[in-house]
């Protein structure tokens, strides 16, 4: 295989070739590491590149030879978002606050990747503390979308999506609190799965909004995402919200038949504010399913109107509490020359956090303050119950719900930094899913008039990763 063929291959293909002895993990890992070193200057998709990846790959090759590692992803390299703890490797959350934080332990998902025989290439760029939709708020500078110069890669897992799109990692892990796996996957033209809340351990994921955060895979294909999901999912006693989940039957995903399945299309996902090209591409993909015998029905989901305020109230409330631990005492950044404790708190937080993070902390404290708690936070919890009811009703009728991932394709760099509200509104199609913990996948479905990728979002019932991955794989088989 040539260098280019290795870089372009999907993870399962690399896994097969390593297993058969046609390639070694060392060869594959070396190829990716040297490509990252040579080419990532253009994209800035990595914050840290592993110094040990090639020697780790060599050890994995020995274990594969000895028959100790036999899984489909053994020997395959993977990139990990920089808010997931990696023992001995910087985990900065793209923040000055954690720019010196070297975790003494691995996140559960990282342990699981290693147990599978996967090799960690490095840590990927992101919006600071996963707050944002463009990867422009990173302390380490913005990531560039490999599919279009001058375009953002989406966020917050922009580095994880861009590294896969630029052939600088075969697969990666991202995290999704309100769309941060699906939206960058959509903007960069790759596939990203946000699993059901609780199926993948959050132990070692730096918390943003704990009731919404979920780790998931990004890859070139739905089948790669299915296999990586199987590798990282499972109950973990270290995460109290962790729940039992079925492993996905990847063979059934690969041969999934959509005939007789029922697709629901929320009209509001195709209404005002959604780009015409985005609507057209997603509806063409739906037609592809219809032509194979799936039934398609439009329905109304007016609760979508409350998606953004509900999400931002809950997310900011949880964030301000989670981020109170960064006080200059226990973790990360501490300024020089402080006189007293109050000064230490104030200066650590003022100098350590960026603008967007501060905005969220202020919003969160506001909605939780005694005078406003009922008006905002309690209202948001009521809206959450209504959102749950709307989806419960939809899933009585449909196997999956399909819509766009985002109202537009990748924005121009710099466009939304000056207008945070505009950026928040771009989350309209993704945030509902996190509020009630559903699984959803982002699948590339063609391009807009400027050649930028469009993403279709397939939403499933709780714990039904199997069906949404099946729909995604069926589409990728056919196009
Ligand atoms: N764009 C959303 C936000 O800024 C989602 C972020 C995420 O999923 N981490 O909150």
- What digits encode the pLDDT tens for the residues 82-104? 999 999 999 999 999 999 999 99
Residue whose Cα lies nearest atom 10 of ligand 1: it is 131
CA of 175 to the centre of ligand 1 (A): 9
The predicted structure's pLDDT at residue 420: 85
Is 180 an active-site residue? yes
What CA–CA distances, in Å, run from 312 to 134, 236, 435? 17, 28, 10
| Residue ranges around ligand 1 (CB below 6 Å) | 130-133, 156, 176-180, 208, 315, 427
For the chain, domain boundaries: 3-253
| Average of per-residue pLDDT across 443-455 | 98
Annotated active-site residue in 45, 92, 156, 172: 156
Confidence of residue 456 (pLDDT cuts 50, 70, 90): very high
Q: Check pLDDT > 90 for residue 355.
A: yes
pLDDT digits (tens, 9 = 90+) for 262-313: 999 999 999 989 999 999 999 999 999 999 999 999 999 999 999 999 999 9
How far, in Å, is the centroid of ligand 1 from the Cα of 310?
13
Question: Is residue 321 flagged as an active site residue?
Answer: no
Rounded to two decimals, the pTM is: 0.98
Residue whose CA is closest, atom 4 of ligand 1? 132
pLDDT at 220 over 90: yes
pLDDT of residue 383: 97
Nearest ligand 1 atom to the CA of 175 is 9
- Quick check: is 114 catalytic? no
Residue 149 confidence class, pLDDT cut points 50, 70, 90: confident
Ligand 1 atom with least separation from CA of 181: 8
Distance 236 CA to ligand 1 centre (A): 25
Indicate the pLDDT class of residue 129, thresholds 50, 70 and 90: very high
Q: Is residue 174 predicted with pLDDT exceeding 90?
A: yes
Distance 182 CA to ligand 1 centre (A): 10
Question: What confidence score (pLDDT) does residue 370 get?
Answer: 87
Of 126, 152, 179, 207, the one to substitute when testing ligand 1's pocket (max ligand atoms within 8 A of C-beta) is 179
Distance 27 CA to ligand 1 centre (A): 36
pLDDT at 416: 83
**pLDDT for 208-217, tens place per residue?**
999 999 999 9
Residue nearest to atom 5 of ligand 1 (CA): 178
Q: What is the atom index within ligand 1 of the atom nearest the CA of 360?
A: 10
Atom of ligand 1 nearest to the CA of 311: 10
Distance 130 CA to ligand 1 centre (A): 6
pLDDT of residue 79: 99
Mean pLDDT computed over 150-162? 97
Exactly one of 180, 186, 233, 245 is catalytic; name it. Answer: 180
Q: What is the dihedral of CA 407, 411, 416, 420, to 10 degrees?
A: 30
Q: What is the CATH number of domain 3-253?
A: 3.90.1300.10
Whether the pLDDT of residue 479 is over 80: the answer is: no
Ligand 1 atom closest to the CA of 179, numbered from 1: 8
Given 25, 45, 81, 384, which residue is catalytic?
81
Ligand 1 pocket test target in 82, 84, 129, 131 with most atoms within 8 Å of CB: 131
Q: What confidence score (pLDDT) does residue 22 get?
A: 98
Which atom of ligand 1 lies nearest, measured to the CA of 130? 9
């Amino acid at each position: 295989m040539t260098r280019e063929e290795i870089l372009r291959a999907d993870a399962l293909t690399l896994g097969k070739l390593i297993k058969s002895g046609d390639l070694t993990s060392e060869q594959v890992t070396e190829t990716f590491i040297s490509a990252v070193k040579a080419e990532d200057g253009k994209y800035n998709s990595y914050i840290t590149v592993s110094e040990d990846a090639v020697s780790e790959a060599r050890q994995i090759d020995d274990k594969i030879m000895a028959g100790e590692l036999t899984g489909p992803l053994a020997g395959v390299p993977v990139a990990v978002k920089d808010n997931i703890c990696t023992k001995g490797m910087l985990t900065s959350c793209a923040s000055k606050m954690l720019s010196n934080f070297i975790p003494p332990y691995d996140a559960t998902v990282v342990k699981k990747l290693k147990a599978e025989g996967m090799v960690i290439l490095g840590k990927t760029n992101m919006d600071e503390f996963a707050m944002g939709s463009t990867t422009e708020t990173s302390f380490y500078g913005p990531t560039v979308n490999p599919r279009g110069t001058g375009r953002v890669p989406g966020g917050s897992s922009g580095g994880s999506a861009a590294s896969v799109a630029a052939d600088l990692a075969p697969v990666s892990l991202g995290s999704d609190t309100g769309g941060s796996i699906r939206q960058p996957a959509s903007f960069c033209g790759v596939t990203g799965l946000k699993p059901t809340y609780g199926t993948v351990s959050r132990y070692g994921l730096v918390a943003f909004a704990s009731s919404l955060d979920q780790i998931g895979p990004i890859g070139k294909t739905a089948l790669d995402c299915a296999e990586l999901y199987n590798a990282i999912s499972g109950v973990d006693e270290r995460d109290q919200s962790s729940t039992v989940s079925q492993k996905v039957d990847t063979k059934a995903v690969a041969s999934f038949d959509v005939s007789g399945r029922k697709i629901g299309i929320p009209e509001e996902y195709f209404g005002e504010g959604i780009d015409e090209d985005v609507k057209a591409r997603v509806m063409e993909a739906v037609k592809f399913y219809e032509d194979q015998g799936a039934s398609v029905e439009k329905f109304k989901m007016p609760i979508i109107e409350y998606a953004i305020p509900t999400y931002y109230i809950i997310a900011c409330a949880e964030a301000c509490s989670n981020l109170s631990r960064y006080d200059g005492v226990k973790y990360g950044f501490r300024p020089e020359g402080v006189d007293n404790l109050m000064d230490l708190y104030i200066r650590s937080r003022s100098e350590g956090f960026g603008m967007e993070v501060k905005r969220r902390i202020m919003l969160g404290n506001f909605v939780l303050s005694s005078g406003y708690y009922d008006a905002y936070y309690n209202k948001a919890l009521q809206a959450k119950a209504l959102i749950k009811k709307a989806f419960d009703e939809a899933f009585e009728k449909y196997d999956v719900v399909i819509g766009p991932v985002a109202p537009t394709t990748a924005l121009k760099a710099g466009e939304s930094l000056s207008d945070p509200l505009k950026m928040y509104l771009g989350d309209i199609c993704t945030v509902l899913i996190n509020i009630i913990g559903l699984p959803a996948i982002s699948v590339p479905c063609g391009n807009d008039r400027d050649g930028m990728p469009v993403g279709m979002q397939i939403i499933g019932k709780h714990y039904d990763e199997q069906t949404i991955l099946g729909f995604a794989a069926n589409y990728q088989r056919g196009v």
